[in-house]
Amino acid sequence: MTRDLLHAKLRAFGIHFSLSLAIFFILLYFILFHWYPLPFFGTDGGWQGIRIIVGVDLVLGPVLTFIAFNPRKSPRLLKLDLGLIGLAQIAVLAWGISTVHNERPYLAVFADGIFYPLTYYQLPETGLSKDEINKLAPGPTPKKIYVDVPKDKIEYQALLARAMATQPIHFMGQRYRAFDKSKIKNISRYNIDMKAYLKGEADAWQQEYQKFINAHPDTLDSMLYFPLSARYGKYIIAFDRNSLNFVEVLNIPPPEIDEVIWGKKEAKKRRRREAERSQAKQATPSPGS
């Protein structure tokens, strides 16, 4: 490859890369502020979405242009090559945008003490249309949804059995309710007592929580903390009860729900008693044996 040919290829690469970069920044805006807003960017696919767009937009097209471009080709052949490259990039970019758009967290469903992000492509599994969901939860995504869980113990156990047999509770669209301030009392019983939970736990967890405290000294009294079952891990999410907004995801593994409701010590006692009862049942000989 001669120096002149290399310079021509690099110039064509640079022009194509500049155009692709402009498209990338437009898509980056939508990813950061509309499709994967904080605090869900790192937990539910924001980085993965950016990688897809970088691959199909900033890498594929410009590299193909660098390989195919040659000013010594006839104008007709050069236009054909660049046209085919453009069509290929448009097709792949359309696939990438569709994938990133459909994988975005569209709902944040509060079910039985846990927030579950649901993606846009999972909406049909709830049995509700997009319009029905938007009536329940107008406003930006991810839209907060409250799942109505029976207070009666027998009905609750029946619901759990149904969830095991059919679909998880957070997919049961017929139980979806608007998430407003009237639900604060119900969700508050699942609030994680962070000081009690972190007592005796790893220093990294303590430091993560302290960093959050230092960043939000004026609003700590309005904070609630819940388990977040995100796409790429389980965390604790801080929620402002006054504004009904998510504040931050803490990179701390959440407690089990029984620990949230009963506390660490009581939950351990209950688990121990349950294990002892289970062992006793197994040790009891069955009739006729």
**Full 3-state SS string of 124-178:** HHHCCCHHHHHHHCCCCCCEEEEECCCCCHHHHHHHHHHHHHCCCHHHCHHHEEE
CA triple 115-243-226, angle to 5 deg: 25
- Model pLDDT for residues 88-113, shown as the tens digit of each residue: 999 999 999 999 999 999 999 999 99
- Model pLDDT for residues 245-281, shown as the tens digit of each residue: 999 999 999 988 667 665 556 556 655 666 666 666 6
Indicate whether this model's pTM tops 0.85.
no
User: Which alpha helices (DSSP H) does the chain contain, by range?
Assistant: 3-30, 46-53, 60-68, 75-102, 130-136, 153-165, 184-188, 194-198, 203-215, 257-262, 264-283
- Model pLDDT for residues 35-51, shown as the tens digit of each residue: 999 999 999 999 999 99
Residue 62, amino acid: P
Element (H, E) at 110: strand 105-111
What is the reported pLDDT for 75? 87
Measured CA to CA, the distance from residue 186 to residue 127 in angstroms comes to 25
Measured CA to CA, the distance from residue 266 to residue 256 in angstroms comes to 12
- Model pLDDT for residues 130-166, shown as the tens digit of each residue: 999 999 999 899 999 999 999 888 998 999 899 999 9
What is the SS3 assignment for 227?
Answer: strand
Structure tokens at 120: 């846009």
User: Predicted confidence band at 285 (pLDDT cuts at 50, 70, 90)?
Assistant: low
What is the reported pLDDT for 151? 87
User: Predicted confidence band at 286 (pLDDT cuts at 50, 70, 90)?
Assistant: low
Neighbours of 116 (CB within 10 A): 22
- Model pLDDT for residues 62-90, shown as the tens digit of each residue: 999 999 988 888 889 989 988 999 999 99
* Cα torsion through 198, 203, 205, 207, rounded to 10: 110
Sheet with 143-147, strands from edge to edge, namely: 176-178, 143-147, 105-111, 114-119, 223-230, 233-240, 245-250
Q: Indicate whether 21 pLDDT > 70.
A: yes
